[in-house]
Structure 1
Amino acid sequence: MNSPDPLADLYPPIEPRHTGRLRVRPPHVIHWEESGNPDGIAVIFVHGGPGAGTAPFCRRYFDPERYRVIIFDQRGAGRSRPFAEIADNTTQELVADMERLRVHLEVERWLVFGGSWGSTLALAYGQTHPERCLGFILRGVFLFRGFEVDWFLNGMGRFFPEAASAFLDFLPEDERADPLAAYYRRLTHADPSIHLAAARVWSNYEDACARLRPRPGDEGDGRSALALARLECHYMRHGGFLREGQLLTEIDRVRDLPCTIVQGRYDVVCPPVSAWELHRVWTGSKLVMVPDAGHSALEPGVRVALVQATRRFAESQG
């Protein structure tokens, strides 16, 4: 007897029609896939992290009859290679990779769909190549400002003190004043026993804070956590490779494009103030504040709101 689908409010599972690898700047090779209708509205799914990679559920936010769904793993993430590599891994390089992929797949314009770090990269791409965007659907907005990074490292513990204690207690007491530097040393260490242990703790900290309703026993293994932890730490050390406030001050580049922002009211990883501030400066954007949700794209209310957003966008395209 088949067990019920826990993601039944998404579209049914589908398999990719095509998969491939795109060689970008050495040593990086990007994994991509296509599913849905080859003649439908092109949409690019921009995953979070950095380093989170994609999964089969990512295809399910889009009506496969109406969308040409394009998914890729960013440098160092998922099935892209080399795994967890931080060399030549910057926001600007990822934006360039997205544009290379668009050209490779012969897409004229596409809808840009991204959550968490994916919202950061979606905005950076859109502000660089607005003429290639049909619009945006963003979730759990993160603008990579200094206070947002500080909140991740030092603020989430106000709501999840046990998770924050485990995050800091992993470090020697004399290194806890600067956890970003301390974790960076470990996550980039050549010894797997050191970098995998640090990755596991970092990943568990973030995961514990990401959901309004926690999933018991959901601890990942160190290797699967390595790309997420190492790349997040790398990007945080460099301010996301963005100027402070850049994604707000450059909003005129995309102001005339449609945007729906889906935000969990109780998102502790990416607090709602960033979604609100983006909405305030982006004239015509639509903000959907989900009242009973945290950060994860798999929170029930967030899932429903994202599906509604993709459905409305498809209807707007005729």
Structure 2
Amino acid sequence: MHVEEHGDPAGLPALVLHGGPGSGSSPVLRRGFDPSRYRIICPDQRGAGRSTPAGAIAANTLADLLDDLRRLRAHLRIDRWLVVGGSWGATLALAHALDQPGAVAGLLLRNVFLARASDIHDVFAQAVRHGDPEWRILWNEARRRQCPITDVVAEVFAHGSPEHQCRMAGLWSGWEQRMATGKPAPRPDDATLQQLVRRYRVQSHYLRHGCWLRAPTLLQRCAALPAVPTLIVHGTQDLLCPPQGAQALALALQGRAILRWVPGAGHDPTHPALAAAMRQALYDYAVTQAFGGACGPVSDMRISAGAG
């Protein structure tokens, strides 16, 4: 497992969990941290980023990732850390807090993905509606075989021809970028395409298995989360992880978490308002070891019609 550390070795320990699954860590994910206050720990999860073997799906499950985090914390001799994650990184952050509640000092979750069956289905349903016609071909193949589309997509990235894998990786990335930012993605070069193939091999493998969070679901498990400072930051216009998921999580936590909407922001962590909200949250935590400024009762929140 490739791990990077940044900031002050004597600072507040913060574990930064990347999304995907399979995308790998990025400097973007640590931009909001003050390196003079934090010890910033950025692992690449199994098969992702610079961890080896890249794109591997053997021995790559949620249980494996949780075991890796246990061993990483022991190796670094950290008692407790703030856990920060966005999208799938938020999913893994919640799972880690459930697995090792005593290890988590706080949770900062951006654009949460709950990995419910409906969330996973909607990812591909949107691709079929708004993506290249090849998504419709895969959808129809799944209907013909009477299996989830996740099975068909995962088989492409596990066993398909290199040409088919590259084509699907380019289509998936392009659609995902449009949904996240509203802008077309640049055409990837050959090296980038290979990275995307490895990323989506891991991601489709996790989605095929419901991220190993089917029964009980992550939302059902969250009643057992430790009582630590918890902030959910979510863009109101997120089309990839719709705001209803963040609202459901906040309601499930029954007042033990703050939900902070970021109006106009989508899924892109570089959106100025979303980045500013994360930076403020990290400053607040560094100063007080808490998150301030609740935005009102969760039940009274309203989500704009354009939020998905």
Report the TM-score, using the length of structure 1 for normalisation: 0.83
More helix, by proportion: 2
**Cα drift, residue 57 of structure 1:** 2.4
**Cα drift, residue 254 of structure 1:** 2.1
**Quick one: distance in 2 between partners of 1:103 and 1:289?**
35
CA contact (8 A) 1:45 1:113 kept: yes
* Consecutive unaligned residues in structure 1, runs of 5 or more: 1-29
**Quick one: distance in 1 between partners of 2:56 and 2:116?**
24
The within-5 A match list for 1:51-66 is 51-66=22-37
1:301 is matched with 273
Count, aligned residues: 283
The within-5 A match list for 1:211-250 is 211=181, 213-214=182-183, 216-217=185-186, 219=188, 221-244=192-215, 246-250=217-221
Could you say what secondary structure the match of 1:135 adopts? strand
Counterpart selection for 1:144 from 115, 120, 127: 115
Amino acid across the alignment from 1:137 = L
Amino acid across the alignment from 2:141 = E
Counterpart selection for 1:184 from 150, 154, 172: 154
CA contact (8 A) 2:138 2:152 kept: no
Could you say what secondary structure the match of 1:53 adopts? coil
CA contact (8 A) 1:115 1:138 kept: yes
**Quick one: distance in 1 between partners of 2:95 and 2:160?**
32
1:259 is aligned to 2:230: yes
The within-5 A match list for 1:1-318 is 30-155=1-126, 161-163=129-131, 165-166=132-133, 168-169=135-136, 171=137, 174-175=140-141, 177=143, 179-189=149-159, 191-211=161-181, 213-214=182-183, 216-217=185-186, 219=188, 221-244=192-215, 246-282=217-253, 283-317=255-289
Question: RMSD over aligned Cα, in angstroms?
Answer: 2.0
**Quick one: distance in 1 between partners of 2:266 and 2:226?**
27
**Quick one: distance in 1 between partners of 2:2 and 2:167?**
27
**Cα drift, residue 216 of structure 1:** 4.9
CA contact (8 A) 1:203 1:228 kept: no
**Cα drift, residue 215 of structure 1:** 5.0
After superposition, the Cα gap between the structure-2 partners of 1:208 and 1:244, relative to the gap in structure 1 and judged at 3 Å, is: farther
**Quick one: distance in 1 between partners of 2:6 and 2:174?**
31
**Cα drift, residue 60 of structure 1:** 1.6
1:6 is matched with none
Amino acid across the alignment from 1:199 = A
After superposition, the Cα gap between the structure-2 partners of 1:144 and 1:122, relative to the gap in structure 1 and judged at 3 Å, is: same
**Cα drift, residue 195 of structure 1:** 2.1
- Cα deviation code 1:118-168 (max 9, x no counterpart): 0110000000101000010001111111000011011466xxx442x4451
Amino acid across the alignment from 2:54 = F
Amino acid across the alignment from 1:186 = V
After superposition, the Cα gap between the structure-2 partners of 1:79 and 1:216, relative to the gap in structure 1 and judged at 3 Å, is: closer
